[in-house]
Amino acid sequence: MEESQAPRPAFDPDIPEPMARLLSEHPDLLRKIRDGWRPHPFWPARIPQLARAAAILLAVVSLLILAVTAGVGDGLNPGDVASALAFGLTFSGGFFGIAAAVELLPNLSQLKVNQALRYAAEHPDGFVLATDLDERTRPLLRRAQDAADAVLSSEIGRRGMLDGTLNAVRLREETWQLARRLAELSRIAADYTAIVGDDVPDEFAEAFRPYDETLRTGFAALTAKVEALEDYAEKVRRADRHFEVYRNMERLREHHPRFERLRAELAADEVVGSGPEELGTEVEQVEQRLRDSIAEARQAADYLLDAARPPGPLPPPAPPPSPRAPAQPASASPDAGDAPTANTADGAGSTGADPEGPEDPSPRR
């Protein structure tokens, strides 16, 4: 798969989103962490040198003050020593603070990257890379990420016409669960191939059939989940197109009086067939289509909310059939019906506002 088509790293929602964005910009370092590398705490090279210089400055300033005090007085007392140390600490501490700030500020971004990498090294199960997937599962994760991006970047999503909780939280959770399951499926398939190999004698093929069926069923179930997410994204795109038409019609309303005057002037010559009232009804028709599109997108969103529960591990393979009993056909995947249908009812939990206020509860035309 080309680099541009490879999926991005997927992160556990427990990882803060700013840190996840920062880590996604360094996939090479994440691969090193996956291979066992552990980053050390990052400090600019001159910070230890500045600390030593501050300590030397503290000693020099304190001794100089003590020498001057002893020379002009009758000797030293504990108060003089404390005053000299306090002045030396203030002077050397100010020097170190200013010098360290000058040294750290240009390296602040690198410090954040180092902190994020150390967090990722402490939570190696909190991210999935393209290298964790095989050739079959990588395209599935990329399709899921593209669908989620389409929803998050949609105009109706930014305007609050869809469920904001789903877009901000549940889509990230759903994408992560898909990535985690795809990585698990890839590992199991790789281990199975390493153990069994590709050349199984025909007389033993029946004994391995339950394992093959389990892998096929798991792949089909995850494919259905990705298709459900893509279906939701397509409904959002269609609603976006309808919203753009609706906005154009709203702008056209400002020119409505000019069209009315033109139609009135041409009415006597019967150039235009019907009256000017049709101009207003066209806007209403576009608005109703927009409402219908948003309702369909909300249906798909409600389905994802129900289907996005963290799934359990892949089911164990069924025992091989008895030699005397014929092999039973593979049962359908419990997740195979995940794709939403056109007759799914509107969910009650969807929120958001449409262009003209609350959604019309009347049935779709």
Q: What is the pLDDT at residue 149? A: 92
Per-domain residue ranges for the chain? 1-130, 133-251+292-365
| In the predicted structure, residue 299 carries a pLDDT above the cut 50 | yes
Q: What is the pLDDT at residue 349? A: 38
Q: What is the pLDDT at residue 314? A: 46
**Cα distance between residue 133 and residue 183, in whole Å:** 5
Q: What is the pLDDT at residue 288? A: 77
- pLDDT tens string 34-87: 999 998 877 666 777 778 888 888 888 888 887 777 777 666 677 777 888 888
- pLDDT tens string 124-161: 999 999 999 999 999 999 999 999 999 988 888 888 88
Q: What is the pLDDT at residue 278? A: 55
DSSP assignment of 99-151: HHHHHHGGGHHHHHHHHHHHHHHH-GGGEE-GGGS-TTHHHHHHHHHHHHHHH
Q: What is the pLDDT at residue 307? A: 54
Residue percentage of the chain with pLDDT more than 90:
28
Maximum mean pLDDT: which of 61-75, 83-97, 287-301, 333-347: 83-97
- pLDDT tens string 167-221: 778 889 999 999 999 999 999 999 998 888 877 777 778 888 888 899 999 999 9
**Cα distance between residue 24 and residue 127, in whole Å:** 10
């050397």: which residue's tokens? 92
Longest distance between any two alpha carbons in the chain, whole Å = 119
Nearest to 179, CA basis, from 324, 11, 14? 11
Q: What is the pLDDT at residue 40? A: 83
Higher per-residue pLDDT: 128 or 355: 128
With bands split at pLDDT 50, 70 and 90, how would you rate the model's confidence at 277? low
Q: What is the pLDDT at residue 268? A: 58
**Cα distance between residue 276 and residue 272, in whole Å:** 9
Q: What is the pLDDT at residue 269? A: 59
- pLDDT tens string 111-125: 889 889 999 999 999
**Cα distance between residue 216 and residue 40, in whole Å:** 43
Q: What is the pLDDT at residue 162? A: 78
Written as six digits, the tokens of 92 are: 């050397």
